[in-house]
Structure 1
Amino acid sequence: MVCLDTDVANNVAGERNRETFQYPPRNSVFDTTNVIMKTVDIPIPEKDPFLLAITPKSSIWHRLTEVSRRMSNGKIGCDVTVEFQNADQGAADLVDKCLIQSKTRLSQSSRIVAQSYIKSALDFFQQYASSSSEENYLFKARIVSSIGNVGQKCPRFHVDHVPLRLVLSLKGPGPVYIPFENEIGVDRKSLNELDDLDTERANSMIIPFGEKGYAEYAGEGEAMLLMGKAWEEEVRAIPHRSPRLKNNEERILLVCDILPKQEE
């Protein structure tokens, strides 16, 4: 499984020299916390035409045979990325590209509904990621739909090497995370340095007292702003992982990052 952290943002760090490019200054809200959350008003996924259109369909063989379900990691449906400055345009481009990739046509009213709740999430992110609209930072958003445990993009506890990241599950469970007030439950040395290939063993070392009483579990429709290492000071970057998914569990994830820009 490929971690979305590597897919979306860490590649940016490799493409853009850190000595030449810079992120915006840290929002002071994160002086006392490493996560901010907001509930986004998303229609019931099973009734929303857009979410139905981009959810991957399992094959008849996969649905009917227990052996196939056990052996399969699942299936990726849509996987689209856009860059934008204006949240309206970013939301519209995401919806358009998802529909093109899924080869689906929707009514204008259904498209407007989808663009509205995606824009709400992107607006929320921009509000905290950049202090001024005049700074002209670019943002990069991605939607990935999946069925099965292939949707567990990052099963190991980790922190993101970005200033701030939006993560919103449009369908299915959200991330598991350890907020700042539960920092005592995190072994930061293991979190930053451990190279054990066994995910379960690694997680047990990173969270040595177990998740109970320390971890929080985001739900469907809960937009999360996760502070990463680029904004880390006294309040540390937030450890989190993907939720565990069943073989036939559907998930649609929206992620957004702010891209560094060249110093003048």
Structure 2
Amino acid sequence: MLHSVKAKRVDVMWKLYSDMLECGIVGDVDTIGYLVQAFCMENNAAKGHELLLQILEAGRVPSNSVFNKLISAFCKSGNYAKVSALLHTMIAKNCSPDIHTYQEVIHGLCKRRMRHEALRIFNNLKDRGYFPDQVMYTTIIHGLCKMKWLGDARKFWFEMIQKGIIPNEHTYNALINGLWRTGNIEEAEKLYKNMCEIGYGETTVSYNMMINGLCSNGKLDVARVLFDQMTEKGIAPDIITYNSLIQGFCKKGKIPEGTYLFDQLLKQGLQPSTASYTCVN
């Protein structure tokens, strides 16, 4: 069952469980844990939670990963009453929430734009003696930048560096994107340059972030230079790259440039999106 869950083959897992029942084999706490995870994969967290309560009443406590799966599922649906209840249940059952549990909660809160609650949980994590890692810092920085709370994002950026945690490409991209969103053009370009100097930035995702930021802030000439740089380095532009440039040029009234890029998009064999057509029509 474990391998079926890892492979996200819920159909195989249910077949195995059915075979177990037919053979009269009673599942242990791990088996029930796999069933809970399967329900979550099927977007039926309520059923998974019901099953969890049944095994807890029977005096059996599953691993943290089972709680984490349920917490993640309830975070996605915005059911934070259930998330809070699960956290309290974990603590009551001496199954303390770990760094991965908190990460799921913070990620969910940030996606729901619940900044204050995300910050409270993150600070509570540190108060409880946990040491946020690179992934956790990147999660909170990314969420705060998406909400344009750049001051808090910067604070955690410098805090992680002071603690000896080196930002990776995802952390850089998160903060740079936040800088673009808030119009901090010079700081965004400076941080991108720093990212490239230490060996990051040579990916389609990073180029897209910069090109979109430049286009959104009217710096079309610089964006075009980066686009040419991409192709020279053999980094393939995707539909996001083209859409950013097409939208940027068309909004500035430079329709011929936008149309040319649209034609190039087609020549590359990319499928235009609604945004692609909207700008050139």
Select the structure of larger CA radius of gyration.
2
TM-score by length of 2: 0.22
TM-score by length of 1: 0.23
Greater relative contact order structure (CA < 8 Å, 6+ sep): 1
Structure with more of its chain in strand, by fraction: 1
Structure with more of its chain in helix, by fraction: 2
